[in-house]
Chain A
Amino acid sequence: MSMMKSFLGAAAALAITATGALAEPALVFDLGGKFDRSFNEAAFNGAEMWAEETGESYREIELQNDAQREQALRRLAEAGSNPIVMAGFAFGSTLDVIAPEYPDTSFVIIDAVVDQPNVQSIIFQEHEGSYLVGMLAAMASESGTVGFVGGMDIPLISRFACGYAQGAVAANPDATVLANMTGTTPAAWNDPVRGGELARGQIERGADVIYAAAGGTGIGVLQAAADAGVFGIGVDSNQNYLHPGSMLTSMLKRVDVAVYNAFTAGEEIEPGLVVLGLEEEGVGYALDEYNEELITEEMMAAVDEARAAIIAGDIEVHNFSDDGTCPVQMQ
């Protein structure tokens, strides 16, 4: 009997430690897949950075289709993960339903705003970062025509496009901006063939710098740009290494920093809205050994000046999401 007792006691103690150990953070990737070389991969890198520094582990789920969103969040919340970080605007409506059901769990959503007491919403000022790469594009362009290829046609991607167009026109008032969206379904994030075709179309119309904000589709866009000998601009992660010499730069969106910070804050994470812009180094442009020869000092000076002016509030970059319109006409 006493043996039974100690056995039960040990089991109970084990259960308690198990619960304690289970409060590990979790990360849910969106449909582009963990290694999209872009948005999701940045989130993954942030989580890995945290795991390496702390030596702790985290849980992760990679979605295969839209129907799994709710299931994934419930499973993680019920398994005791805390906080649960999800990368992607598409989680918004699901989280709005799930969050009140698990009031003791903290959730972090990137790229969408969910107004619940246990949710931290992180949004980036993509239009500010895109403005800077738009300036670089217009300055590097010889034809005066620059292109943009977006993934799924959603306001978030239009924000990239609109910021880019404003930057291009700021650097060269005569610049023409061509813009295409790949599609209207999530498949648009994974269609490099159509992406390449859109890029070719823009190149034929005179574009000699093309900015891809399209997840896995962007791989095809940047490939087509490299094949045709024009410049490509990557997005979210630093993609300069993909085609050294023909990648002008990448618009960095520090999703990795956001995930890292959320994991570091742990269960005590502050709910509410966090906006990461140029000032917080949440967005920016990439400069490394692959593109340092392409960015002249003149270009760098102009961009850094604009960056300071945006932070100071002297230049206001219009945010497409505010009113659904863009001051610059795109073709």
Chain B
Amino acid sequence: MDFLTILQILDSTVRLATPLLLACLAGLFSERSGIFDIGLEGKMLAAAFASAAIAFVTGSAWAGLAAGIGASMILALLHGVASITFRGNQLISGVAINFLAAGLSVVIAQTAFRQGGRTPALTGDARFTEITLPFADAVADVPVIGPIYANLISGHSILVYVALLIVPLTWWVLFRTRFGLRLRAVGENPAAVDTAGISVVGLRYAAVLICGVLCGIAGAYLATSLSAGFVKDMSAGRGFIALAALIFSKWRPWYALMACLLFGLLDAVGNRYQNIQLGDFVIPVQFMQALPYILTVIILAGFVGRAIPPRAGGEPYVKER
């Protein structure tokens, strides 16, 4: 395996990890506030559809991104109403959102575009194209650092850089601001937050809506950058892998970045090598594809440190009367 191959695999890793990372951070906000969200997949799918549809109609990828975020936030709000205001079961609400998104996206796409539940292919400005960072061409010939900068760091869609910037931003919001402190508190002990005179409901809604925004960016990245248009069920389980990454990262932003890059790397290596030969031993590609889930189970079983979810997670908050 030469240097260029490694770079190409890492390049692919970054592309594959980005939607996972955005969805994982989305889940992080929601779950840190005590609202479990297995509807990440559905929100991503709805955003992918909305962004592809609006990007096609307007010819602008940015309008598509806004529409994707909007669609995802509507579903997030629905989850909020069901699980915060009406204190419904958060898992059931999440499952319902997944089904709703899978069905609605195809039905609306079929009514609007008559192409069998897909949107027309996007071209030109309707897609987020790869941007070349300054001096990428100039330094490309410099040994080692040049190719790393030109191939790996430069040449991604702007949404990739946005996703990477959201990691420190999330860390800063959660651990360095008053809002973040309260958000974490509401996921651990909502009664204490309430006693302090802060609205539990308001905080949880805020968290759920931030989750909607991030899922929206993830969906838009899938439909308008990685591919060119919406295809039914195109999120293909990435929302669930993101949940696995969230548990793997023990609900922490920097660990989430690491977990998503690891899962992206596994994916990229699996894509590149169908079967990996280690001496006489062959690792089949299916094993690589299952590895994220296997790792998550190992983490959950407590072999590698313990993953402790926010204590009030999954519990609707009932004010004592």
Contacts and interface: CB of A to CB of B under 8 A. Distances in A.
A204 B231 contact: no
Contacts of B222: 193
Contacts of B12: 197, 200-201
A183 B233 CA distance: 15
Contact of B274 (A181, A192, A196, A219): A181
B16 to A, nearest CB: 6
Nearest to A183: B289
B311 interface: no
B307 interface: no
Contacts of B189: none
A35 B234 contact: no
B226 interface: yes
A198 B271 contact: yes
Contacts of A181: 274, 285
Contact of A190 (B226, B231, B267, B286): B231
A interface majority secondary structure: helix
A37 to B, nearest CB: 8
- Of the candidates B121, B226, B227, the one having the most CB atoms from chain A within 10 angstroms of its own CB is B227
Interface stretch (B25-33, B110-118, B193-201): B110-118
A34 B115 CA distance: 10
B231 A219 contact: yes
Given A35-B118, A193-B226, A179 B233 contact: no
Interface in A176-218: 179-181, 183-184, 187, 190-194, 196-198, 200-201, 204, 216
Given A36-B116, A201-B12, A196 B227 contact: yes
Interface in A95-141: none
A193 B35 CA distance: 29
Nearest to A204: B8
A187 B236 contact: yes
A180 B288 CA distance: 14
B272 interface: yes
A220 B234 CA distance: 10
B289 A190 contact: no
Contacts of B229: 219
A196 B226 contact: yes
B274 A184 contact: no
Given A180-B274, A204-B8, A194 B228 contact: no
A33 interface: yes
A236 interface: no
Interface string A21-38: 000000000000111110
A223 B271 contact: no
B236 A193 contact: yes
Given A179-B274, A187-B236, A197-B16, A192 B227 contact: yes
Interface in B97-118: 106, 115-118
B237 interface: yes
B271 A197 contact: yes
Contact of A194 (B116, B117, B233, B236): B236
Contact of B227 (A37, A201, A204, A220): A220
B15 interface: yes
A242 interface: yes
Contacts of B8: 201, 204
Interface in A146-181: 179-181
Nearest to B129: A227
A183 B8 CA distance: 21
A22 B142 CA distance: 74
Contact of A201 (B19, B115, B271): B271
Given A35-B117, A179-B274, A223-B121, A187 B237 contact: yes
Contacts of B118: 35, 216, 219
A245 B278 CA distance: 42
Given A35-B117, A196-B227, A190 B232 contact: yes
B231 A192 contact: yes
Contacts of B236: 187, 190-191, 193-194
A202 B316 CA distance: 49
Contacts of A193: 19, 222, 226-227, 234, 236
A256 interface: no
B78 to A, nearest CB: 22
Nearest to A203: B8
Interface in B146-163: none
A33 B271 contact: no
A163 B299 CA distance: 44
Given A183-B289, A219-B227, A220-B227, A192 B116 contact: no
A150 to B, nearest CB: 10
Nearest to A331: B274
A69 B267 CA distance: 31
B272 A216 contact: no
A42 B287 CA distance: 34
Contact of A216 (B226, B231, B237, B268): B231
Contacts of B286: 184
A200 B274 CA distance: 15
Contacts of B272: 201
Interface string A228-246: 0000000000000010000
A187 B15 CA distance: 20
Nearest to B116: A35
Interface string B228-246: 1101111011000000000
Report, nearest first, the 8 A-B pairs whose CB atoms are least far apart: A35-B116, A191-B236, A192-B227, A204-B8, A193-B226, A220-B227, A190-B233, A223-B228
27 contacts: A33-B106, A35-B116, A37-B116, A180-B271, A183-B289, A184-B289, A187-B237, A190-B231, A190-B233, A190-B236, A192-B234, A193-B19, A193-B222, A194-B236, A194-B271, A197-B12, A197-B16, A200-B12, A201-B12, A201-B268, A216-B118, A216-B232, A219-B118, A219-B231, A223-B121, A223-B227, A223-B228
